Amino acid sequence: MYRKQVRRRRAVLVALIVASLVLLSISFSEAESGPLGTLQRGVSAALSPIEEGASRALKPARDLVNWFDETFDARGENEAMREELAELRTELADAQQALGENEEFRKLLELEDSQAELAAFTRVTGRVIARSPTVWYSTVSVDVGTSEGVEVNDTVINGDGLVGRVSKTTRGSAQVTLITDHRSAVSARLLPDGPEGVVEPEVGDPEDLLLDFIANDEDVEEGQILVTAGWSNGRISSAYPYGIEIGRVVEANAGEQESFQQVHVDPFADMRDLDLVQVLTGGPERPGVPK
Amino acid sequence: MIVTPRLAVRLALIVVAAVIVQVSFFSYLSLLGATPDVLAVVIIVLGLLGGGVVGATCGFAAGLLVDSVLLQTLGVSSLVLLTIGYLAGRYREGFEISGRLTAPLLAAGLTALGAFFFAAVQLMLGVETQVSLLVLREILVKGLLAFILAMPLFALLRRVLRPGLVEETAGGGRRALSAARLRSQRRSRGAARLSGGIPPRRVRGETA
């Protein structure tokens, strides 16, 4: 009897492991519209109203717990913030002066304003209803989907800056891959007229992004702001439109043996505390970016 | 664990509730730089209460559900959760859970092991960017948070699953027995103790 139980237990274990590996294999090889993907989207769509309800109901408790954690962190950051505030006041005065000049130059050169480019998109506001529990998948689910016009590869922002882009959709929800996910890479440009590189995350540290492909001889300074590059050569283009703020340079190391600098960027959007986001739908077609 | 249909429904509800609470609440929290993994703790506790097959099956189902809900690659979470659920169950079948700290310590160790296993699977599947050493800190803190979460969860889930819990054998070990063998033991040993036992006539299912 006991042997029979042991045999059965082992059989169940082996069957479950094999089933997991088969799912993993199919999940990697199957197209988005395959039967497994369709089933997955069906389960996600069926459970998204429950997630939405749970997310709203549990938000006060979530905020309370995070408030304790943030208060603990804020004590250490207070002094640094005071110093930064003093520096920013000086910079603000310079920036206001530069802004006025900039407007005049723009009018003269008839350059397209980044805000004008973003104005071509329809903004669909969504609420984050679920997020991945591991650092290996920096993804969130939002409560807007194809029924609101959301499509794969649409850019997602919040009040602070770039958040990510839509990677999967269902009728009533969408998966957003954050810029801190290891599969993410964003073409970016340093302001005001700095070089372009690719922003990639460092798995395990959502507060640190790396700006890659910046040559050693390029001048990169702490505090420089990074925006999406939005390049296009007519056949292929960057997935994100031009001018969305990504973050600020906190450190730049030029190694002697390396051809590129190690530029660390602090993202503006707090990926750990996302609630409301905006999906930029429609807009001008970007060659090479599938919808 | 004697898995009756009613108990199977309870197990399914526990798994679904754990997945919803994980993705809608715990995944948003950042405590000491890590996210509490309540789903792993629930699976470990189910393994500790129900044995290897219950732990592995619940782990597989929970992994499948969480990957489906988040539209992630299917199979990775299932593989990790079924492994830790099975290991917890095997411990339960071979050893006594005597001290009050046994379950929390096991939850801490197995959650950290699960996080490490998840990281290893991800690295094998291919990670295109740099990996921070903070991943190690996250694994350790997850274990610590699992220790804290396991204390109330073990008590709560034991209460919910009480009708199907496994009895103690004469040797001190704990084994799940079939209904027939249960009755036979009762006859032969007189008064076999059932920890939170279910009356034999209500048993319909086979042991797990």
Asked if A145 is an interface residue toward chain B (Cβ–Cβ < 8 A), one would say: no
Among B3, B23, B28, most A C-beta atoms within 10 A, so best to mutate, is B28
Let me know if residue A19 belongs to a domain: no
CB B25 to CB A36 under 8 A?
no
Among B35, B39, B75, select the one facing A21 at the smallest CB separation: B75
The pLDDT mean for chain A works out to 82
How far is the CA of B54 from the CAs of A7, B86, B151, in angstroms?
Answer: 15, 8, 20
Among A16, A133, A182, select the one facing B129 at the smallest CB separation: A182
Q: Which residues contact B49 (CB under 8 A, 6 or more apart)?
A: B1, B92, B154, B157, B158, B161, B165
Let me know if residue A26 belongs to a domain: no
- pLDDT by residue for chain B (208 residues), tens only, comes to 677 888 889 999 999 999 999 998 998 888 888 889 999 999 999 999 988 999 999 999 999 999 998 888 889 999 999 999 999 999 988 888 878 889 999 999 999 999 999 988 888 887 777 777 788 888 999 999 999 999 999 999 998 888 666 544 444 444 444 444 444 555 555 444 444 444 444 434 444 4
In total, how many domains does chain A have?
A: 1
pLDDT at A253: 81
CB A65 to CB B76 under 8 A?
no
Identify all chain B residues contacting A133, using CB atoms and an 8 Å cutoff. Answer: 22-23, 26-27, 35, 37, 39, 66
Let me know if residue A8 belongs to a domain: no
Let me know if residue A4 belongs to a domain: no
pLDDT at B197: 43
Nearest residue to A123 (alpha-carbon basis) of A154, A153, A147: A154
**Residue A173 belongs to what domain range?**
35-286
Nearest residue to B81 (alpha-carbon basis) of A35, A133, A272, A138: A133
Let me know if residue A29 belongs to a domain: no
- Our CA-based measurement puts residue A183 at a distance from the nearest CA of chain B, in whole angstroms, of 7
Identify all chain A residues contacting B175, using CB atoms and an 8 Å cutoff. Answer: 2
Asked if A260 is an interface residue toward chain B (Cβ–Cβ < 8 A), one would say: no
The answer to whether A127 and A55 have CB atoms below 8 angstroms apart is yes
State the Cα angle at A185 between A180 and A189, rounded to 5°.
105
pLDDT at B80: 95
pLDDT at A262: 82
Domains in chain B with CATH codes: 5-164 (1.10.1760.20)
Let me know if residue A201 belongs to a domain: yes
Structure tokens at A46: 């069926």
This prediction's pTM: 0.77
Nearest residue to B71 (alpha-carbon basis) of B119, B23, B125, B37: B23
Greatest mean pLDDT range, A30-39, A164-173, A238-247, B145-154 = B145-154
A170 three-state secondary structure = coil
Q: What is the DSSP string of A111-159?
A: PPPHHHHHHTEEEEEEEEEEE-SSTT--EEEES--GGGT--TT-EEE-S
B194-197, Cβ contacts within 8 angstroms, sequence gap of 24 or more:
B194/B167, B195/B165, B195/B166, B195/B167, B195/B168, B196/B162, B196/B163, B196/B165, B197/B165, B197/B167
Among A25, A29, A134, A211, most B C-beta atoms within 10 A, so best to mutate, is A134
CB A132 to CB B131 under 8 A?
no
CB A203 to CB B25 under 8 A?
no
Which of these ranges, A27-31, A240-244, B75-79, B112-116, has the smallest mean pLDDT?
A27-31
Let me know if residue A1 belongs to a domain: no
pLDDT at A115: 63
Confidence of residue A106 (pLDDT cuts 50, 70, 90): low
Let me know if residue A76 belongs to a domain: yes
- Rounded CA-CA distance B57/B43 in Å is 9
Whether residue A251 is predicted with pLDDT greater than 60 in this model: the reply is yes
Among B3, B27, B41, B129, most A C-beta atoms within 10 A, so best to mutate, is B129
Structure tokens at A163: 């958040």
CB A16 to CB B60 under 8 A?
yes
Q: How many C-beta neighbours within 10 Å does residue A69 have?
A: 15
CB B23 to CB A130 under 8 A?
yes
Among B37, B39, B71, select the one facing A44 at the smallest CB separation: B71
Q: Which residues contact B172 (CB under 8 A, 6 or more apart)?
A: B96
- Rounded CA-CA distance B21/A51 in Å is 8
Q: What is the DSSP string of B168-190?
A: BPTTS-B----HHHHHHHHHHHS
- Which pLDDT tens digit goes with each residue over A55-104? 888 888 888 877 776 676 666 667 777 777 777 777 776 776 677 666 65
B207 three-state secondary structure = strand
Greatest mean pLDDT range, A4-18, A55-69, A212-226, B103-117 = B103-117
With a pLDDT cut of 90, the percent of chain A lying above it is: 18
Q: Which residues contact B183 (CB under 8 A, 6 or more apart)?
A: B200
R_g over Cα of chain A:
23
